[in-house]
Amino acid sequence: MIPVCRIEDLPLGGSVRLDLDPPITVFHADGGLYAVDDTCTHQDASLSDGWLEGCLIECPLHAASFDLRTGEPQCLPARRPLRTHRVSVDDGTVWLTPAEEPAREKGDAA
Amino acid sequence: MRTVTVVGASLAGLHAARALRSQGFEGHLRIVGAEHHLPYDRPPLTKGYLTGAVTAEHLALTDAQDEAELQPEWLLGARATALDLGERSVVLADGRRLRSDGVVLATGAAAVPLRGTQFLGVHTLRTLEDAASLRAELREGQARVVVVGAGFIGAEVASSCASLGHRVTVVEAGAHPLASQLGEEIGALCAGLHADHGVTLVSGVGVAELHGKDGAGSSAGQRVSWVELTDGRQLPADIVVVGIGARPATAWLLDSGLPLSDGVVCDAGGVTEVPQVVAVGDVARSAGRREEHWTHAMAQPAVAVRNLLAGTTVAGYETPPYFWSDQYGARIQFAGRRHAGDTVRLVEGSPSDRSFAAVYEHEGVRTAAVAMNRPRPFAHLRRELGRPAGTVPA
């Protein structure tokens, strides 16, 4: 488990990007905290810079949209899901448990 | 409709094919491509592909899922030379005639060459082959590179060449780079990016002539040696990259009878004079406008295909233009339709920090938005542009 931040430092609509390999971003969206791979599966853009609406995050570069709950793409140009990761809160600290499945290689996505 | 032929194995052609299947077309789907490749993504050709960060395999737009879902008949390395509207056939260079109930024109645009540029070492950049040939020369050691045109292609190529350690000069005929796309003020800011990274920008001067090692002229097989500017200046050059725009690839349609005017003339829904023929992507002049942007080529085909399958125009493509450019580590994003003379108003950030978002306004109405290294506010501004006039908050 990796400490992310204090819960009060992640208000609704906010996000924290962790410079892991690959980077992971924790979002505070409607309905709770969600963690997904930060890099859009379509092309190299940081979803932490994206547009958050409901449980959807829209890529800032080409407007591909993903459901934070499942990582599934909602529209083109993305066609592959993001990895999702477990987030928990313990005594006011947000913790991230990265998924064990390996990330796709960069550039692997169409 | 039993058979649809998509002419152009491009981003727009592929998205037309995907739209055909997703909108219920179950007939025979042909995709004709003049290049030998399956559809690939062109934006990285000026950037990651030139610098070596990505390889040709990474540019592929199709995958096994496409093969399964589209079940297309690929006709690659097959150049369309005519469209016979009488029998509704696409005619290929080898004489084959592809009878079709519907035709999607997706032949894109071709890079405009500089006059008399037969010299070795002179490049345009549109296709994977173009980029591969430039990339190979850039790997032969440090070179003096002259880029003609400081538009998106020129600026991105200059940025890539500079990052590879080449000595780069950019020649721009206009007073500022990108002025026609971004306006004078933002264009002037983009000019600063070149200087920030040690690239010389020569503005307001055209290219008079290229010269080979053995003097002027354009004898084939001779290597370029220097570039003569219209003010008499001489720029030594080992490599010249010409990025002075693109023209729609419509020569093959000249005898078709379809109206052409800097593109295939069609309505806002991509439908030509013939309802069974639609145009998508760069080649389409829809409702008087032609767009050469990636986002348009990806999204507009779904509208054109809808109209094709309906047999008449039932929808128009109304999304405001959006494009981006990555150069010198800066990401520039633009959305909307600005007019000459629009007022530019800074929304946040600072141009001198190379990080800002701004809007264009015409008589108090917001027409467009631009940002450099400010993706989040830009996303907000871009969304607001999509709303009807009058609902945009100040």
What global pTM score does this model have? Answer: 0.91
Q: In this prediction, what percent of chain B has a pLDDT beyond 70? A: 96
Beta pairing partners, B73 = B30
- As a whole number of angstroms, the distance between CA B358 and CA B177 comes to 18
With beta carbons under 8 A apart, name residues in chain A contacting B61.
110
What's the confidence (pLDDT) of residue B392?
A: 45
Size of interface A-B (CB pairs under 8 A): 43
Q: Do B324 and A61 touch (CB under 8 A)?
A: yes
Using H for helix, E for strand and C for coil, what is the string for B290-315? ECCCHHHHHHHHHHHHHHHHHCCCCC
Nearest by CB to residue A110, choosing from B62, B322, B375, is B62
Q: Nearest chain B residue to A58 by CA: give it.
A: B379
Sign of the C-alpha dihedral, residues B31, B36, B40, B43?
negative
Nearest by CB to residue B54, choosing from A63, A76, A107, is A107
Q: Do B379 and A60 touch (CB under 8 A)?
A: yes
Q: Are B163 and B259 in contact (CB under 8 A)?
A: no
Least Cα separation, residue B23 to chain A (angstroms): 15
Cα B79 from chain centroid (whole Å): 20
What's the confidence (pLDDT) of residue B394?
A: 42
Q: Do A51 and B61 touch (CB under 8 A)?
A: no
- As a whole number of angstroms, the distance between CA B7 and CA B103 comes to 7
In a mutational test of the A interface, the residue from B15, B58, B333 whose CB has the highest number of chain A CBs within 10 Å is B58
Sign of the C-alpha dihedral, residues B248, B253, B258, B261?
positive
What's the confidence (pLDDT) of residue A109?
A: 38
- B50-B56-B59-B64 Cα dihedral, nearest 10 degrees: -170
Domain ranges in chain A are: 2-97
Q: Do A77 and B376 touch (CB under 8 A)?
A: no
pLDDT digits 0-9 by tens, A26-45: 999 988 999 999 999 888 89
Q: Are A109 and A80 in contact (CB under 8 A)?
A: yes
What domains, with CATH codes, occur in chain B?
Answer: 3-110+246-310 (3.50.50.60), 113-242 (3.50.50.60), 329-385 (3.30.390.30)
With beta carbons under 8 A apart, name residues in chain B contacting A51.
376, 379-380, 383
What's the confidence (pLDDT) of residue B276?
A: 98
CA atoms within 13 A on the CB side of B77: 2
Q: What is the CATH number of domain A2-97?
A: 2.102.10.10
Nearest by CB to residue B375, choosing from A49, A76, A107, is A49
In a mutational test of the B interface, the residue from A51, A80, A106 whose CB has the highest number of chain B CBs within 10 Å is A51
- As a whole number of angstroms, the distance between CA B137 and CA B41 comes to 22
Least Cα separation, residue B48 to chain A (angstroms): 11
**What is the complex's ipTM, to 2 decimals?**
0.78
What's the confidence (pLDDT) of residue A103?
A: 67
Q: Do A77 and B378 touch (CB under 8 A)?
A: no
Contacts of B281 (CB under 8 A, 6+ apart): B8, B10, B11, B12, B13, B106, B108, B296, B297, B300, B301
- As a whole number of angstroms, the distance between CA A49 and CA A69 comes to 18
Q: In this prediction, what percent of chain B has a pLDDT beyond 90? A: 90
Q: Do B379 and A107 touch (CB under 8 A)?
A: no
Cα B241 from chain centroid (whole Å): 16
What is the secondary structure of A5-35 as a DSSP string?
EEGGGS-TT-EEEE--SS-EEEEEETTEEEE
Mean pLDDT in residue range B125-142: 97
What's the confidence (pLDDT) of residue A105?
A: 52
pLDDT digits 0-9 by tens, B290-337: 999 999 999 999 999 999 999 999 999 999 999 999 999 999 999 999
What's the confidence (pLDDT) of residue B218?
A: 54
- As a whole number of angstroms, the distance between CA B80 and CA B94 comes to 9
What's the confidence (pLDDT) of residue B214?
A: 75
Return the closest-CA partner of residue B207 out of B289, B90, B117. B117
Q: Is residue B213 very low, low, confident or very high in pLDDT (cuts 50, 70, 90)?
A: confident
With beta carbons under 8 A apart, name residues in chain B contacting A62.
294-295, 298
Q: Are B194 and B172 in contact (CB under 8 A)?
A: no
- B372-B374-B377-B378 Cα dihedral, nearest 10 degrees: 40
With beta carbons under 8 A apart, name residues in chain B contacting A46.
375
Q: Do B63 and A77 touch (CB under 8 A)?
A: no
Q: Do B376 and A49 touch (CB under 8 A)?
A: yes
- As a whole number of angstroms, the distance between CA B332 and CA B357 comes to 10
Mean pLDDT lowest among A60-69, A94-103, B165-174, B214-223: B214-223
- Say if residue A108's pLDDT is above 80: no
Mean pLDDT in residue range B73-86: 98
Q: Is residue B24 very low, low, confident or very high in pLDDT (cuts 50, 70, 90)?
A: very high
- As a whole number of angstroms, the distance between CA B380 and CA B392 comes to 11
What's the confidence (pLDDT) of residue B97?
A: 98
pLDDT digits 0-9 by tens, B370-389: 999 999 899 989 988 866 55
- As a whole number of angstroms, the distance between CA A1 and CA B172 comes to 54
Of residues B65 and B157, which shows the higher confidence score?
B157
pLDDT digits 0-9 by tens, B50-64: 999 999 998 999 988
Interface of A with B (CB under 8 A): 43, 45-46, 49-51, 58, 60-63, 76-77, 79, 107, 110
Nearest by CB to residue B60, choosing from A50, A61, A110, is A110
Round the average pLDDT of chain B to a whole number and report it. Answer: 94
- As a whole number of angstroms, the distance between CA B375 and CA A59 comes to 9
pLDDT digits 0-9 by tens, A59-97: 998 889 999 999 999 988 888 899 999 999 999 999 999
What's the confidence (pLDDT) of residue B217?
A: 56
- As a whole number of angstroms, the distance between CA B394 and CA B21 comes to 42
Q: Is residue B116 very low, low, confident or very high in pLDDT (cuts 50, 70, 90)?
A: low
Q: Is residue B221 very low, low, confident or very high in pLDDT (cuts 50, 70, 90)?
A: confident
Q: Is residue B391 very low, low, confident or very high in pLDDT (cuts 50, 70, 90)?
A: very low
Q: Is residue B118 very low, low, confident or very high in pLDDT (cuts 50, 70, 90)?
A: confident
Residue where the block lists tokens 């994003």: B333
Q: Do B375 and A50 touch (CB under 8 A)?
A: yes
Q: Do A58 and B62 touch (CB under 8 A)?
A: no
Task: Name the token pair of B30.
Answer: 């042909």
Return the closest-CA partner of residue B122 out of B210, B230, B42, B208. B210
